[in-house]
């Protein structure tokens, strides 16, 4: 009876930690949206507020990490429980780094608010931010529902983000060569684009952890075709025998 109570308590604690991760993800998602809004609306105050609020994300990471360490020391945890805990530890690290990049974006947006805006009003940058926002939302949704299919779609979409970043980077070099007076502004835009590209990488990482939780397959540093093959193989292993 005591063992059953311990297992039940462990399951409740693990679910509480999963919920805390989702709360942390929601805060990070909000930080990102505010950072992009600070850029599009030329709102320096909002940009600085995003940077200031980064400490909240850091505190959540420390708290969740402490709970995970305690759960890892609990005897009797199953292999799937341990996979979930390890994936959570990695996930909160990536969420914290997304928060760091959002902080950088907020500070840069605050500076750009006082600078003359280009005629495009940062259109390419806003398009990149929209795709990255979809990646963050998809990653958190995949984590919440342990949805390997959505996780795989987010992983695939990272290529689009990389391509858009490269386009912005090449354009930035051209602008600076044509008009050296724009160097400071264009460099700040490039740094924001770089932050967006890194955030996309972190969202991709979270989705790779989701696939690890579902199948026990480590698909990091693996091409899309190999990831799909690994998932297909894992699915075949899980299919009931016809014997």
Residue 49, classified by CB atoms within 10 Å of its CB into exposed (0-12), middle (13-18) or buried (19+), is middle
Buried b vs exposed e over 202-232: b needs ≥16 C-beta within 10 Å? bbbbbbbbbbbbbbebebeeeeeeebeebbe
> What tens digit of pLDDT does each residue of 124-182 get?
999 999 999 999 999 999 999 999 999 999 999 999 999 999 999 999 999 888 888 88
Distance of CA 100 to the CA centre of its chain: 11
> How much is the pLDDT for 243?
47
Closest CA to 137 of 151, 122, 123: 151
Could you give the CA distance from residue 143 to residue 91 in angstroms, rounded to a whole number? 9
pLDDT in tens, the chain (243 residues): 566 777 778 889 999 999 999 999 999 999 999 999 999 899 999 999 998 889 999 999 999 999 999 998 888 788 888 889 999 999 999 999 999 999 999 999 999 988 877 767 688 999 999 999 999 999 999 999 999 999 999 999 999 999 999 999 999 999 888 888 888 889 999 999 999 999 999 999 999 999 988 887 776 766 666 677 766 666 666 665 544
> How much is the pLDDT for 3?
63
Closest CA to 162 of 188, 193, 197: 197
Q: Which domains does the chain have, with CATH numbers?
A: 2-238 (1.20.58.220)
Backbone angles phi, psi at 126, to 5 degrees: -70, -35
> How much is the pLDDT for 179?
86
Closest CA to 25 of 94, 89, 105: 94
Rg for the chain, CA atoms, rounded: 21
């Amino acid at each position: 009876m005591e063992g059953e109570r311990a297992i039940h308590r462990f399951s409740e604690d693990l679910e509480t930690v999963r919920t805390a991760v989702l709360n942390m993800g929601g805060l990070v998602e909000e930080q990102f949206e505010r950072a992009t809004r600070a850029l599009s609306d030329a709102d320096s105050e909002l940009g600085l507020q995003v940077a200031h609020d980064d400490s909240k994300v850091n505190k959540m990471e420390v708290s969740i990490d402490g709970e995970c360490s305690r759960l890892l020391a609990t005897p009797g945890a199953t292999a799937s429980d341990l996979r979930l805990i390890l994936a959570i530890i990695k996930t909160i690290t990536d969420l914290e780094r997304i928060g760091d990049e959002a902080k950088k974006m907020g500070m840069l947006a605050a500076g750009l608010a006082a600078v003359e805006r280009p005629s495009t009003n940062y259109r390419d940058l806003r398009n990149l931010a929209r795709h990255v926002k979809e990646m963050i939302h998809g990653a958190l949704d995949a984590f919440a529902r342990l949805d390997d299919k959505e996780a795989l779609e987010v992983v695939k979409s990272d290529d689009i983000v990389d391509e858009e970043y490269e386009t912005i980077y090449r354009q930035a070099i051209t602008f600076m060569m044509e008009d050296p007076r724009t160097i400071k502004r264009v460099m700040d835009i490039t740094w924001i684009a770089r932050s967006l590209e890194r955030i996309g990488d972190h969202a991709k990482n979270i989705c790779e952890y989701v696939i690890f939780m579902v199948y026990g397959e480590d698909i990091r540093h693996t091409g899309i075709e190999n990831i799909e093959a690994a998932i297909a193989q894992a699915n075949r292993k899980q299919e009931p025998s016809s014997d």
